[in-house]
Chains A and B, each alone.
Chain A
Amino acid sequence: MTFGHYGRNIYIFPGVHIIRPRFISIGDNVTIGKGTDIYVHPTHSGLKNYMIRISNNVHIGSYNIIGARESIILEDNVLIGPHVMIGDHSHRYENIEIPIKLQESTEGGPVRIERDSWIGANVFILPNVTIGRHSVVGANSVVNRDIPPYSVAVGAPARVIKQYDFGLKQWVKLDE
């Protein structure tokens, strides 16, 4: 098993399943919790770029599922809680003749989680989503739209409820 890039001081807990690790790059000081599954489904096997890019000081909790077909980028100092699913593709269902299980997956789009953010427990992140810098996603939320930097988002689908105000220099609640 060879990773595309493997930094220093990485701890991968026992029971982590990684499929096709040569498309994955991992930075320094990364922890991956137990029971995590990381899938990579490249469009063709001769692909040179990394499909999952995990930067320095990232902590990934236990029992996560990360599935990549396009690209998933976790920037520096990202903290991910337990039971989180990050996927950049999903199932087609339009053809009613074929079972959904056997239909090919959608094209999807890249997922990017920017620096210093924190993802809570049991969160589902849909394709084509960018989570901005230093933002928080609450537990049990479904993220289907981009989340601006310095904000707190909760619920299914996730809505921004708090944002950092640089004029007042504090976190301000947003009303509807």
Chain B
Amino acid sequence: MIRKKPFWYRLSNVKNRFLFGSYGKDVYIESGVVINRPRFVHVGNHVRIKRNTSINLHPRDKKSKEILLFLGDHVIISEGCFISACNRLVIEENVGVSPNVMIIDNSRVLGNVGLPSKEQDLKIGSVHIGADSWIAYGACILPNVTIGKHCIIGALSVVNKDIPPYSLAVGSPAKVVKRYDFDRGEWVKVSESEISLRGMDKEKGKAH
């Protein structure tokens, strides 16, 4: 029951090198991972995808050679994740994705009342997750979202807007709770930092 890299994972890597769009060194994809159309995926070096993850790719032009899903170096995707890419979904290097996270870049337009939702047009966006970030358990990242560098997304939160770099966001919809203050060199709560900034402005006004 102890999980180790099985001896045949090197062989499966040789096989995967032909299937994927581009494939790095020392990649470990565990059993039970389902990837349809792997030739639209770029996998960097030292990537690990844990079991029961499903990655769906739905290219508009099935003969094109552009890459829809980009996984950078040292990315880890844990158990039971769901990733769906139609246009462009980038996960930069050193990103950790916790179990049961959902990352999608496409959803349905619910404009026409006469049609069932599954027959309506797809709304296609793009998702970008910055380097060094951490996405905690069960979060959901919706289309047209950019998450900056070194961000933390809290557990079971729903991200529907852009998150600035160096910040901690929680809740559904996700709101920024903490941010790294480069002047002070520490993490500060967002309301506090805003107050302090206003105070600084006032002091500056007095000085002038």
Residue ranges of A at the interface with B (Cβ–Cβ < 8 Å): 1, 16-21, 35, 37, 63, 65, 83, 85, 91, 93-94, 96, 98-102, 122, 124, 126, 140-142, 156
B80 within 8 A of A: yes
B interface, over-half SS: loop
B143 within 8 A of A: no
Residue ranges of B at the interface with A (Cβ–Cβ < 8 Å): 1-3, 52, 74, 76, 79-80, 94-96, 99-100, 131-134, 136-138, 150, 152, 154-157, 166, 168, 171-172, 180, 186-187
Identity of the chain B residue whose Cβ is nearest the Cβ of A93 in the assembled complex: B152
- A35 and B138 CA atoms in complex are apart in Å by 16
**Which residue among B136, B166, B187 has the maximum number of chain A CB atoms within 10 Å of its CB?**
B136
B52 x A100 contact (CB < 8 A):
no
Other-chain contact of A63, B1, B2, B80, B166 (Cβ < 8 Å): B80
**Which residue among B1, B96, B99 has the maximum number of chain A CB atoms within 10 Å of its CB?**
B1
Other-chain contact of B156, A19, A21, A35, A140 (Cβ < 8 Å): A140
Identity of the chain B residue whose Cβ is nearest the Cβ of A126 in the assembled complex: B155
A91 x B3 contact (CB < 8 A):
no
A37 x B79 contact (CB < 8 A):
yes
Q: What chain A residues lie within 8 Å of B137 (beta carbons)?
A: 65, 85, 124
- A122 and B172 CA atoms in complex are apart in Å by 15
B99 x A99 contact (CB < 8 A):
no
| Shortest CB distance B94–A (Å) | 4
A/B interface sample: 5 pairs, CB < 8 A:
A18-B1, A85-B137, A93-B150, A99-B131, A124-B155
A19 x B2 contact (CB < 8 A):
yes
